Amino acid sequence: MSAWRVSRAGAPSAPGALLAPGDKSISHRAVMIAALARGESEIVNFLPGSDCLATVAALEQLGVRVARLARDRLLVRGAPRLLSPAEPLDCGNSGTAMRLLAGLIAGQNVAARLHGDSSLSRRPMRRVVEPLRRMGACIKALGRDGRPPLRIVPGEGLRGISFTPSVPSAQVKSAVLLAGLGARGETCVKEPAPTRDHTERMLPSFGCSFDRANGSICLTGRQPLRAARINVPGDFSSAAFLLLAGVIGPVEVRVDSVGVNPGRTGFLRMMERMGARFRVAASGKAGAEPTADLVAEPGPLQGARLPASLVPSAIDEMPAIFAAAACARGETVIEIEGASELRVKESDRIAVMAAGLKALGVACEETPDGASIRGGTVRGGEVDAHGDHRAAMAFSILAFAATSAVTVRGAELVDTSFPGFAEAARQLGLAVEPAG
């Protein structure tokens, strides 16, 4: 379904507790680290979206055996040594797959070529290529200005380095740490600002020790890894769109077993600044990750200034924040510093969201690295998500506030992160139909 027509459907009723799909970031990391571990690792609640399945297919090409015990449950037999694949590795639409696989493969000193779809081919890879080269990797971005495809060839082996990313990035940090698993000596990453720490939380489950102090993570390479059982929590980024529906829709929404890693929950703090009400119905853990049953209550939103400090912990949820700002009274300002990363996600999310809101009658001024949005009446109309799964979900949920139906074009990639989103939207009280 390349386009959806979304509108409110009938009298509202409480949808009951919903579940978000397995966390995409954790699913990627679990299967990659399991690929290097001795024995068979079981991954439960794995996200069977196209992004994570691209990672699985790539690892199988590298000689890793993966058995599908169920749609969302995998058994991964680690390879004693990765093999150089005969064909290029297709990362599809996934920047996480490409960046993390680049680190993993470089650390194992095998040859590979990584490519992706047209969207991924526009995303910057220099931020990963440069630290891997410093470690001794023979890696090159073949596209213009450091963009994909990537080519990796064997060299003399990697050595550990101390590295400080110029821009906070969990993907860059994780790529360097995964490369460090196969490097000689110690690899340290010092973060200029905290980012999601799924890799660090997961490594001890596989028997890998590391030191963390003063914003640095340091690990010694070539530690033996052992198989583990990883329980993947519900994806907070997917849950955010369901919670948005609970705030701007007619009835409260509860989402159970959501991962609430502190590096991921900036969305809640931003929304609370705008007056949204959330409560925790229960707390728990999925392995090393904290989880919670979250409830979002309907209520009015007020425009707010959203500080740059919250952007890194809400980077994937910013389309939902744009949608919420469209429903708020007054002006919402997304501060300039810290928002530029939105320009190089699956789409230029600032431009896509600003153009879509304007098409729905919302006053939105795009700045080079942010936006200011004056909420008010949201009209129906047609928007283009430009193939960005999160923008498509944000515009779909915004139909709760629209005066007539919203047609969302470019929605075909929603399954990359949220298989079954259309059905979840129907449970929330939206009519989601194919659009011509």
Sheet holding 150-153, edge to edge: 89-90, 112-115, 150-153, 138-141
Look up tokens 């890879």; give the residue: 125
Greatest extent of the chain over all pairs of C-alpha atoms, in Å: 66
Sheet holding 210-213, edge to edge: 162-163, 186-190, 216-220, 210-213
Provide the residue type at 165 as one letter. Answer: P
Q: Determine contact, residues 173/165, Cβ cutoff 8 Å.
A: yes
Q: Where are the beta strands (DSSP E) in 51-127?
A: 65-70, 73-77, 89-90, 112-115
Coil vs helix vs strand at 413: coil
Place of tokens 């790529």: 175
Check the CA dihedral 314-295-433-6 and report its sign. negative
What gap in Å lies between CA 82 and CA 112, rounded to an integer? 11
What residues form DSSP beta bridges with 5? 407, 433
Nearest of 320, 324, 329 to residue 390 by alpha carbon: 320
Catalytic residue list contains 316: yes
Contact, 246 vs 295, CB < 8 A?
A: yes
Beta bridge partners, 278, equal 296
Instruction: Tell me which of 23, 51, 235, 316 is the catalytic residue.
Output: 316
* Residue positions annotated with a catalytic role: 316
